[in-house]
Amino acid sequence: MEKSFISSPYLTSLTERVLSYLQSGFSVHLTGPAGVGKTSFALHVAKQMGRPSLLIHGNHEMSNKDLLGSFNGFTKKKMIDNYIHSVYKKEETFKETWANGPIIEAATKGYTLIYDEFTRSHPETNTLFLSILEERVIPLYGMKRKESFLPVHPNFSVIFISNPEEYVGIFEAQDALLDRMITIPIEKMDFEAERSILSQISGLSEKECLYIVNLVQIIRHHCRKIEPQSLRTTIKLASIAKQNNIPITIYNQQFQILCTDIFWFYLKQANKVQTYSQAKQFIVKSVSLQMEGS
């Protein structure tokens, strides 16, 4: 992971729990709304395992070949025998070339596999994990290989990640698969955790971080009927303001425009405004009323 993981007491405790489950031989399923940091957290945990990791993303077109691998070409071998001048022999052989998919690569070498948004793949595709997690073998049905299965490395572990089932494009996970893993909800950060993380990564002062988190909380309250803005939104607002030296106060014109650019679409979805200019007025009025004197 290139960027350092910013933790909090909640995430530190969660990391210890997830590591203990993985090291005990069980797979873990992280579930929660978009933007709470599930993938970043999974990468962080995988790094703590001290082994290589592979990240794959589920989608409705994913097949067994995408996960296990496939024959994707041929190698050609030609042998010409002209040892006896009057005799000419030529022999050609063709052999299919096999390329391992991420599951075979990770499971046979003891890597940590991170399967992000696995419920976006068809349940039939994910069925092969039943044997992998329970019998610790990789089934190779329909793969045109000599082996019918491959053994799973003892150190192999899987971190599954999913969004709630009400999200568009999500399939319901099989009960049999869920029964083979430990499902842990990743909850939205509370106010103090969000402020603490923003303070660690933004380079802003404590007062500025407090101002931004308060502001985002106000907008979230007005947009609570739709999917609320995540920590990503808070980081975007802080990062752009910091990078462009924009004063962090709702009474600054540049900051007003920045806030409107980031939040107007959410406000429109929540039926609070219809136009960009209305959104700007709404944000300025709402924030100034609740944060007067900040």
- Is the same domain home to 179 and 150? yes
Among 78, 99, 120, which residue terminates a domain? Answer: 99
pTM of the model: 0.77
Residues 48 and 156 reside in one and the same domain:
yes
Shared domain for 280 and 235, answered yes or no, is yes
Residue 4: inside a domain, yes or no?
no
% of the chain with per-residue pLDDT over 70: 85
Rounded to whole angstroms, the Cα distance separating 31 from 165 reads 10
CA distance 183 to 259: 36
Give the pLDDT confidence score for residue 164 in this predicted structure: 81
pLDDT in tens, 56-108: 999 999 998 899 987 665 566 666 666 666 666 666 666 667 688 999 999 99
Q: Is the pLDDT of residue 228 over 60?
A: no
Q: What is the mean pLDDT of residues 140-149?
A: 75
Is 106 found in the same domain as 132? yes
**Region for residue 203 given its phi and psi (left: phi exceeds 0; alpha: psi -120 to 50; beta: otherwise):** left
Domain interval for residue 150 = 9-67+102-185
Q: Domain boundary at 133, 157, 185, which?
A: 185
8 A C-beta contact, residue 158 and residue 27: yes
**pLDDT tens-digit readout, 23-68:** 999 999 999 988 788 998 999 999 999 999 999 999 999 998 899 9
The CA-based diameter of the chain, rounded to the nearest angstrom, is: 102
User: In terms of domains, do 38 and 137 share one?
Assistant: yes
Give residue 279's pLDDT. 96
* Domains identified in the chain, total number: 3
What mean pLDDT value characterizes the chain? 87
Judge whether residue 1 has pLDDT over 50. Answer: no
Which residue has better confidence, 18 or 94? 18
Greater confidence (134 vs 291) lies with 134
